[in-house]
């Protein structure tokens, strides 16, 4: 199974369809009038479809078990065809496309099974995904040419004693997101040094500045103190999400003093200094955090 531990719960929906075609109007009439010998076709098939939706992971090996929080099965008769629509909702880490399609296939098969004794020519025409929503694919930001500066706040890295790994991890994720790199620097964890460099990028109207390191509780962790006076529009929800995400994976995430907000037109984000902390923070807030630039640029006009 695909590893989904890095994903977040979001509302995900899917609509799938199937078509069952019969050979005569007489068959349709018996379905509508509920005179098929095996029973009420639509209700039997609906019940089976609901079971099929909920049991998808039992029969499709690579599907994750997930909470089905809404399911609806509806029908439309068009001449000699029965159109089946299956809609499924969940709030989870992965989508429900296969659940919807599995439900549609079970409904179609039950209708086929109930009608074949009276109509040997009955056939299933198609099973397909009509629409899906949710997940990162819905939150990709396109058409934005964004530039980011990365600042590694570490005495040892700035002196060349230790290798920078967290900054490299940020740059790699930015590349995957299609965000350009304006600059990358390692500086001592000193309030005046950090503040001056961030202010430089703010004056240049760089879109985003990400700092890594110096967000802990040690007396040497100065990043929040350095950037706080520069942020004129705090966005506390960004770090609330990051901390909640991290807390589900590591119990000390609550101790991070990360900050987020706009300094002028520049989004400033402070990340932990560890590679794991950086990666988890990026997983938690990207790409959805990029929506702030659409708001920023919209407000400008």
What's the CA gap between 81 and 135, in Å, rounded? 34
β-pairing verdict for 10-21 and 70-78 = unpaired
Q: What is the distance between the alpha carbons of residues 224 and 231, in angstroms, rounded to a whole number? A: 10
240 within 8 A of 185, measured Cβ to Cβ = no
Give the chain's radius of gyration (CA, Å): 27
Please identify which of the residues 113, 155, 183, 190 carries the catalytic annotation: 113
Strands 180-187 and 266-271: unpaired
Distance CA 301, CA 235 (A): 21
Residue 164: active-site member:
no
Q: How far apart are CA 50 and CA 72, in angstroms?
A: 8
Query: Which residues are known catalytic residues?
Result: 113
């Amino acid at each position: 199974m695909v590893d989904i531990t890095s994903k977040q719960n979001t509302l995900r929906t899917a609509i799938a369809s199937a078509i069952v075609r019969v050979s005569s109007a007489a068959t349709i009439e018996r379905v509508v009038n509920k005179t098929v010998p095996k029973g009420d076709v639509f209700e039997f098939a609906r019940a089976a479809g609901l079971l099929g939706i909920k049991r998808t992971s039992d029969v499709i090996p690579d599907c994750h078990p997930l909470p089905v929080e809404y399911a609806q099965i509806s029908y439309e008769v068009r001449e000699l065809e029965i159109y089946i629509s299956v809609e499924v909702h969940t709030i989870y880490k992965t989508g429900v496309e296969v659940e919807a399609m599995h439900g549609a296939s079970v409904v179609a098969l039950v209708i086929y099974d109930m009608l074949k004794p009276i109509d040997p020519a009955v056939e299933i025409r198609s099973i397909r995904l009509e629409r899906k929503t949710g997940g990162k694919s819905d939150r990709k930001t396109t058409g934005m040419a964004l530039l980011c500066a990365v600042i590694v706040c570490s005495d040892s890295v700035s002196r060349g004693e230790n290798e920078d790994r967290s900054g490299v991890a940020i740059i790699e994720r930015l590349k995957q997101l299609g965000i350009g790199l304006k600059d990358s620097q390692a500086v001592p964890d000193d309030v005046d040094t950090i503040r001056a460099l961030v202010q430089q990028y703010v004056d240049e109207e760089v879109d985003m500045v990400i700092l890594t390191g110096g967000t802990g509780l040690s007396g040497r962790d100065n990043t929040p103190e350095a950037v706080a006076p520069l942020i004129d529009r705090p966005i506390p929800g960004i770090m609330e999400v990051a901390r909640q995400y991290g807390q589900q994976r590591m119990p000390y995430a609550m101790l991070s003093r990360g900050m987020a907000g706009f300094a002028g037109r520049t989004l400033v984000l402070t990340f932990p200094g560890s590679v794991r902390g950086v990666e988890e923070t990026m997983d938690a807030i990207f790409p959805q955090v990029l929506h702030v630039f659409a708001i920023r640029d919209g407000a400008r006009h």
